[in-house]
Structure 1
């Protein structure tokens, strides 16, 4: 039986029933805690934070050079006059960034600023949630395009800084005939659930993030095809340069139950040899790499790859749903003439040159006016390089480093000016909350909720404290910053926080309550699920969603959750308050026989499915009685 994007609703429904039972039945206060497990090599995501410092958030939605001036710092309430500019730091994805500071005599004045290169969020950190440890689409995030950078300051005067290269003596240097350019065409139009299994005659998606899961291009069905173009101007290709590297990544998105059941042919526009890939589907991710001469690429008016789903060589029983493939991305790395075609900002790869420097003589830079200034940065080696500028022609010397360097050119008019800074933390003063139990003699009870439900969450924490636990109430909005690099709706924030509590607290928690509605991961981006995005107060894990997976494998390998986990899927304070009142009533009522009176509901699409579910319910009834 072929299976595609359907999943077994019964399994998801069963999980909801289990969660309800867990929350209504109060755990025993004073239950024996697990031994503290030291994992010194474990990364939790908050290692970069000094909880005695203040942090301010900078949201980034586009790649480029960003500048924070003294007026913006002062508007955020930062006393720039009392801070040595050498003390400033900027962090991104847990790493301190190299920055440039324009200052005078160790002081900020009205013309001072902080400058740094920043990039929008892509799929890089999504690799931390995939079972394979790598993301299939590194160019497109499952959750958000917005990255977050964090400005802070300490007492050190040896923080990371860009070095300044001022040599503009070009005598004796030969201009490099090219730099390396990369263009990527990645998919973002359709979400695929990844690996699926046949369970009881129905197909069930794996709630873990598997290799064939994510945002890709639209599916290519049996005997169908699709062409993907590269944003390349053949006239700008340096035809005498090194060969271009073309990469194609695609995923199998069906399993017909026959061997083999996929045949993908990849042809190109420049006349190179076609690639035929025949495989049997276990929902794999396949990467093909092609070398093409720069001259051949330059001869193609529209550089492109065409993918075709063929029936040749497959089991003859394959039908139209049996050979489904999705292209994740195609990329091309090729030599380009040192011409920018009017662009005011450009990312490029620069090889070493003779005489200790690479000499670039770039034409066609996008200069808005004669007063505009061009900046050049060696991002790999953290250098800010002086540019000799004459109209739209720019010359610079880049010191050799023994390897290809990622460099960035921008005009002053193309620099992004940061106009506001948002204080991190829930207190609104830039200080992160250091989540620890208040009473180490009790069993920590984790509660994660959303600001919309905060008043009820506090009441729930107070109630749990009154029943013998040490409730630790965490704000999901702050967990994103501390444990998920600031990426909103990323469930990694919950997983990393729980891992931190389990392995770093003296008394590890045993219970996790998620107070707030969650939705499937494919509805987690603000641009793909605008209405559902706002409803996603406390995210879950995977498609179909599984709260168990938030802590599975943190203490033992496999799918066993490290914490007894439950969720109250409340969308507002009224719903959350109603549930809390029911819990309080239930737990204050003596146990009685009537509590074993249960109504079981079942459903099914056809008679066979209805009978199957009825058998399950009869089994449950026997357990309850």
Structure 2
């Protein structure tokens, strides 16, 4: 069983405020890191120092110092006080008076277990708090920066005591962390009740008082029916705990339930034998022990070589208490360890075989008595290289890496410094822990360091905007599982029993305002993670990022392509969500070419292994190989594939070889982005870690998500994906996701926290930077009415490459690649699963493609309209991509009518008249200019991109003089307006803004 110091952690934290010192104490001097596992007095000998590498003969023992911030975890609430850098502890050095550290000299210091305890809210005893991140507390020894802090003597008071202490409060607990049932969240459970249904535990309280003993037990069970636990103490039943049933096959139910109970018991024996039995409800029942806590009173009789004691009943305003430690050897010393940084040696009065002292007990005081015969020994960890994170200047980007990957992190840092002209600082997790969490792993230490760097920024030029976590993470902070991957830890939620509320999120490191806590708040900076587990993986990912940004082979027209994939279930909800986003993009950024791979648009194949979409997988694989600026998926998924029909499996992902055509991938679905489960390689990890292809980065969820909330987040993301900031620059990936999350629902929304960026947050996608402008078609300025074109017609296009101010880039010499897309067409899905078809527009049929030269920024393209142009009138799309392998540009032209047939053209009345609409982008009115002597009546209707009719009206000749149509009531978007007489029609497109 485990007992521990009951010193309140807050007493230490309140002593050391968040003052943001200028330099770390580790800046200079020789430092040696040591570890302890339990609370007590530790001894460092002459030989111990030699084994650490200390030159004992050259040191003055009076200069020996020990630094460390004691037990417990840092707070998650930013505004709560915490240590800033390492604090010096008062120690005792035996034999230092001669200024020489002799063979028989030694150091004594008080150290604490990483587990802390606090007084219960109802003052009925104490409760423990496990350290989630470490099983050791770390201290730092120094020998050469000046005189050290020493434990001072405190005499016993001469006041008359009003309270006599002859017994004290003792506290023990039992908790072993063996199982994380969801492989998610902070909660780990202990002994498993399955094949074994009874466990026995023994606690020893020397010289126990006969007062009541207080027990607290926490147990868990997963069962389809109510089950229970029975607890016996010394063969007497003291507590029965019922645990509620769970819905075994529901993902929205708790996976297990927890019950906690408290009982009191009297014992005349110093040994307490506990027996815990699980009473199974049925064959589905499995139980676990979470923890036991026992509060007991003991007589204040010296027991063992070291004994911690405190008395809750002695504290009170104005109280002066006399402590009588019975049966104390003559060598017994007493230290007051209530404030671990400022320990006092409490002088005592010997009264026979007892030690007595009088102290003020306005507050709870804790002491340790020891007989100087036996001490604990710390474990030497390593000599610490000088460091000074507190003294770092501000930077635009932080890269936090595991020490294993520091070379690769520096390589990526140098790339950003030289290529992106930003300031970058690379720090290791070990360096952060040393200065901000006393050498122990602690998530808040990384966040606190990030917050310090964020606060150092003075303006946009030097302010922190991105943090990259360079290394994989794990739900297991303490390496309890084999092949663990806890290189740079992530935030695991307190919620650990319900799949829909348990989450892992890197957003924790970005919530930097004073009142933000856990995952509640607005992101102040962007964050991304490279989930590398080996140096080879780290180098491969570096190579991908640098190649993506700098290799001339990546300057290809895939940069103008987008691909949207949608699942086929849930009444076409996923297709609808994808279509809404593509319509938004087509309205505002119509020069991007969108390929829609909707599963229900393909034939579903059934066999003994289930259903699948071979054609979908082939289409997706082709899209990867051909390249795409962005790929997107919306629908169901799991850790290693998309959709239930085995779309984009891990095997396919790991076989991709598209290194020069890497897309960015957004996956709006469940668990595909899991990165903290060492037992598997998720689909997202496979895509980012594939050294020969995959993707350059992706956003995906690491847990179960809800479709509606996920859609809101993805829509916000695409709202900013192609936007530019106030400086006219495209946003970095981390910035886009930060903005999207901050604009999405409430700050406490767990769904958005499940989505993370696996990739470099400081990366900008390979957007074509400049514009390709069409000026003339067949020597007619595009501002004028252009002739309708038919198959076999020759078309001559002129234009130029323009900067973002519209000026010709005269120095541009390169190649322009062009495609002619057929007119938009209505497509319909097959209704494979829901027997409900979905109508949608697509424009992805390439009629021809080619390339030509750009000279002095000018180009001219000539070709013949192909015969495979679809029938009917409509608007094709000319798509352009120009590059000189240093810079690139994109553009399109859609304002010309083509028809695949000239049948009855001579009889078409519209051949004798012209219809123009203006402006083609309007917020209220659409003006129609037409001329024809033969048209008396005209019917006008307007359709949105789903084909839905939103306007229908008849007009007569009297309306044609001042012809306008009110479109103010229409929603924003792209529309097709159709004009009809008795037998003919013509169409135009416009945008309602």
Q: Distance in 1 between matches of 2:305 and 2:475?
A: 37
Q: Distance in 1 between matches of 2:88 and 2:327?
A: 31
Superposed counterparts of 1:210-229, under 5 Å:
213-214=187-188, 216-220=189-193, 226-227=198-199, 229=201
Q: Distance in 1 between matches of 2:429 and 2:237?
A: 51
1:231 corresponds to: 203
1:121 to 114, 117, 122: 114
Aligned-residue offset at 1:103:
5.8
Matched, 1:67 2:20: no
Aligned-residue offset at 1:491:
3.5
Q: Distance in 1 between matches of 2:141 and 2:641?
A: 61
Q: Distance in 2 between matches of 1:255 and 1:560?
A: 39
Name the count of aligned residue pairs: 511
Q: Distance in 1 between matches of 2:445 and 2:429?
A: 8
1:378 corresponds to: 336
Q: Gaps (5+ residues) in structure 2?
A: 1-15, 71-82, 119-125, 247-253, 494-501, 562-622, 626-630, 649-665, 670-699, 701-713, 722-843, 845-993
Q: Given that residues 90 and 96 in structure 1 are in contact (C-alpha distance below 8 angstroms), is that contact kept between their aligned partners in structure 2? A: yes
Matched, 1:148 2:138: yes
2:296 to 334, 345, 350: 334
Q: Distance in 1 between matches of 2:414 and 2:457?
A: 21
2:176 corresponds to: 187
Q: Given that residues 44 and 483 in structure 1 are in contact (C-alpha distance below 8 angstroms), is that contact kept between their aligned partners in structure 2? A: no
2:262 corresponds to: 289
Matched, 1:398 2:348: no
2:828 corresponds to: none
Aligned-residue offset at 1:587:
0.8
2:308 to 330, 343, 347: 347
Superposed counterparts of 1:238-317, under 5 Å:
238-239=209-210, 242-250=211-219, 252=220, 254=222, 268-269=233-234, 271=236, 274=239, 276=241, 287-292=260-265, 296-298=266-268, 302-304=272-274, 306=276, 308=278
Matched, 1:76 2:54: yes
Q: Distance in 1 between matches of 2:324 and 2:639?
A: 69
Q: Distance in 2 between matches of 1:411 and 1:618?
A: 64
Matched, 1:610 2:644: yes
Report the secondary structure of 1:503's partner residue: helix
Give the structure with the higher percent strand.
2
Structure 1 residues 56 and 217 mapped into 2: Cα distance closer, same or farther (>3 Å)? same
Q: Distance in 1 between matches of 2:437 and 2:337?
A: 24
1:362-388 Cα distance to aligned partner (Å, 9 max, x none): 27x8xxxxxx94433232273324678
Superposed counterparts of 1:526-565, under 5 Å:
526=479, 528-529=480-481, 531-533=482-484, 535-542=485-492, 546=504, 548-551=506-509, 553-555=511-513, 558=520, 561-565=523-527
Structure 1 residues 459 and 355 mapped into 2: Cα distance closer, same or farther (>3 Å)? closer
Structure 1 residues 46 and 65 mapped into 2: Cα distance closer, same or farther (>3 Å)? farther
Q: Distance in 2 between matches of 1:538 and 1:263?
A: 39
Q: Distance in 2 between matches of 1:331 and 1:607?
A: 44
1:152-210 Cα distance to aligned partner (Å, 9 max, x none): 5899989573434589x9xx9999654433222223332344xxxxxxxxxxx7x654x
1:566 to 528, 532, 538: 528
TM-score (norm 2): 0.43
2:431 corresponds to: 478
C-alpha root-mean-square deviation of aligned residues, in Å? 5.1
2:539 corresponds to: 577
Q: If you compute each CA radius of gyration, which structure gives the higher value, 1 or 2? A: 2
Report the secondary structure of 1:247's partner residue: strand
Is 501-510 or 554-563 further displaced after alignment? 554-563
Bigger RCO of structures 1 and 2 (CA < 8 A, at least 6 apart): 1
Q: Distance in 1 between matches of 2:283 and 2:19?
A: 45
Aligned-residue offset at 1:473:
0.6
Structure 1 residues 458 and 277 mapped into 2: Cα distance closer, same or farther (>3 Å)? same
Q: Given that residues 228 and 330 in structure 1 are in contact (C-alpha distance below 8 angstroms), is that contact kept between their aligned partners in structure 2? A: no
Q: Distance in 2 between matches of 1:606 and 1:434?
A: 41
Q: Given that residues 169 and 296 in structure 2 are in contact (C-alpha distance below 8 angstroms), is that contact kept between their aligned partners in structure 1? A: yes
